[in-house]
Each structure stands twice: as C-alpha cells, then as structure tokens.
Amino acid sequence: MPAPDLAPARTGRALLLENIHADARALLAEAGWHVESAPGALDEAELLERLEGVQLLGIRSQTQVTAKVLENAPDLRAVGAFCIGTNQVDLFAAAAHGVAVFNAPYSNTRSVVELALAEIIALTRRLTVKDRAMHEGVWDKSATGSHEVRGRRLGIIGYGNIGSQLSVVAEALGMSVFFYDRTDKLALGNARRCGSLHEVLEVADVVTLHVDGRSSNSGFFGEEEFARMRPGSIFLNLSRGFVVDHVALRQHIESGHIAGAAIDVFPTEPKGSGHAFESELRGLANVILTPHVGGSTEEAQEDIGRFVAAKLRDYALHGATTLSVNLPTLGAEATPGTVRLAHLHRNVPGVLAAINSVLAQAGVNIESQQLATRGDLGYVVTDIAAHASDEVGRLLRELPETVRVRQLG
C-alpha cells in the first residue's frame, strides 16, 4: 500500500518519455515540476530504475507500465498516456496502487482520419506503384487498376471517435459508408450499420480497422476475414498492431486477392526512431507502411501534450480525476483558503463515515466534501480549514479500506 502524502508538496519530479511534445514539459515546469525527458521508450528494468523519486510519468505507446513497475514505484502518483490507447498500462494494478491514469481520447482523431483518407486515395489510385516506377526511371502512363474513391464502398470496423469522423469525411468525398461496431452506435450522415463483421467485408471495396486495444481484439482479423473481403479490395489498419495476422495479409496481397494495404501499427515495434524495423509486409507492391504515425502531426502532438500534461498537473495539485481511465472522477478545484485531503479507497459501505469520524475526533473542520465511486473504488476529496496533522494522516492510512491518502495545498 502506498504511503500517504500527508506532508504537503505542491511539486516534485516528472519523467516524460518517447518524444512527448515540448509543450507538456513547459506546462509542468511552469507549475513548478522538475521535468526530465528521454527520447525513446524504456523497458521494464530501465523504467524501474528511472522512476525512483518520480511522481508523474508521461509515456506514449511503447513504454509498458506493468504491475511490477507499479508495485515498485511507491512515489508514482499518476501516469499520462500521451496518445489514445492505454493498453500499455496495467490499469487494474495502477488503481490498486492509487496511481491515476490519463490519456488523450480525442486530440489526434483528425490526424488519424486524414492519414486514413490519404492512404485510401493513394492505394485506390495505385500511387505507390506509380511513384516507385518513376523513381526507377519507368514511365507508365496507364489507368489500369486506378479508380476514383467517389462511389466506392468504405467499410469501417469500429465506429468510435475516429471511425465516426472518418465516416463523415469519406461520405463528403462521395464514398458510400458501411460500418460495424460491437456496441450500438448512431450512424452519422448516410452511413449504414451492418449486423456483423462479415456483412461489411462482403460489401466493402475498402476495409479500415479502428478498434481499441482490449486484449480480446488480439488476432481479431486474420485468414478467414481476408478471405471474405471482396476481390481487389483494399485494407487499412491504423488501430492496434496485434489485431491483424500479417502473414495472412501478405499471402492475400501476393495472390492478388487484396489489391493494396496501408499499415501504421505492428505487433512488435522498435523502441525508438532509428532502430531496425522488421515486418512480413516489407517489399510488397501497393503497400504503405508507416511507423505508427497516425496521430503524429505537429498539431495533434501539441494538443495532446497540453491536454495530458494539464490532467497530470490538476491531479497532482488538486486531486482532480476528470477523464481518468481508472479512478472515480471528480473535477472541482479546492475551496480557496483550504487544504484538500484526497482519499482513494475500496468501495464498501461506511468509509465516508469513518473518514469523517477521524476528522471530527481531531477537531478538523470540513469546509466541503465530495465523493465519487467507480467499480471497486471510491474517491473522497475533503477541503479542510488547515493542514491535517501527522496523526490524522496515520489514522486515515490505517483505515482498512484505504488505498492512498494525499494532502494537497
């Protein structure tokens, strides 16, 4: 169990990995944090070594924050995933150790949508093949195999933030949109919802995946799905690398059944820029391979940097958990002129009464109080008139339901 942070400390150390935008560093530094950074991902042993004394950690998609890391990083208060996905963080273990996790669920949506559209057009026009031929000195002024996207049928698998926005923009280009999602989603524009994945595959000229990183999606798209796609269709994956069988994809491209593909994510990816990249899909004609750059525009990275860093700052200074992916959500700042006690606990009856009993017996006056719950966890923020004593901290920590206690302000 983490020790309570009852000795108020408004700032501390932050570690940002994987080339997180400079605006994140600037925002945290302006709030008084000592910020360290590293350009690439760290493996588990390296991360454990670097996390000593670190309260805030920023990562992107490659650094894995495992249960072992969380268990051995008692100073860690929050993790910011400067990306959409959080499957690289053990969310259950983070919650169990009182570590809040935040991400950027919307900031790079447009960037991914624009890349998908660019790739759909490039593959449909076979621009990659034309470009390679020109660089090799071959002039091939032929329309064979090249098509307009207008009038073609786009199948979107996963109709979340990215899939739904892609739907709208693709329709504006004249495409007919079909989509499939495991949950019931409202169709935008003239998009048509399909009752099954196979229904989409059998009708679409272009299939694009925009699914999340849950473990059940591993191997989601393989030989059977590629075989069901229409002959001459195009395939894109800008979601998660582990959802697609790349060996099966290569076979269907080489056979001519799949006319082209664009892949931005891979089951195993290098730790950083300049490292060697291996894939079964290298060297194939009309295949676009990009190094996980779907959300890597300057605009998106700037927005993500500011958004997630602000979440880390607000949690560290005020206990705000708005948009946390693993803790109950409370967003209010502390009442002016007060000190805040943030108490994360197991969600069982009687905890709020026990907290207030400790405060009452110590003569602590409560100015305001809020409670939120989420699954097995409860979160109480209590604004009090003055700093709580070490004895109050000890009593709150010793409540059997306590996960973590912090004093802020």
Q: Which residues are known to be catalytic?
A: 240, 269, 292
| Residue 364 DSSP symbol | P
Backbone angles phi, psi at 180, to 5 degrees: -135, 135
Whole-angstrom Cα distance, residue 168 to residue 172?
Answer: 6
Q: Is 169 exposed, middle or buried (0-12, 13-18, 19+ CB in 10 A)?
A: middle
**Which residue carries 């899939």 as its tokens?**
163
For the chain, the distance separating the N- and C-terminal CA atoms, rounded to the nearest angstrom, is 23
Residues facing residue 342 across a β-bridge: 381, 406
What angle is formed at CA 335 by the lines to CA 332 and CA 336, rounded to 5 degrees? Answer: 130
Q: Within 10 Å of residue 116's Cβ, how many Cβ atoms?
A: 28
How far, CA to CA in Å, does 217 sit from each of 154, 210, 228, 245? Answer: 21, 11, 18, 12
User: Which positions ≥6 away from 274 have C-beta within 8 Å?
Assistant: none
Q: Contact 240/217 with Cβ under 8 angstroms?
A: yes
Count of C-beta atoms within a 10 Å radius of residue 147: 17
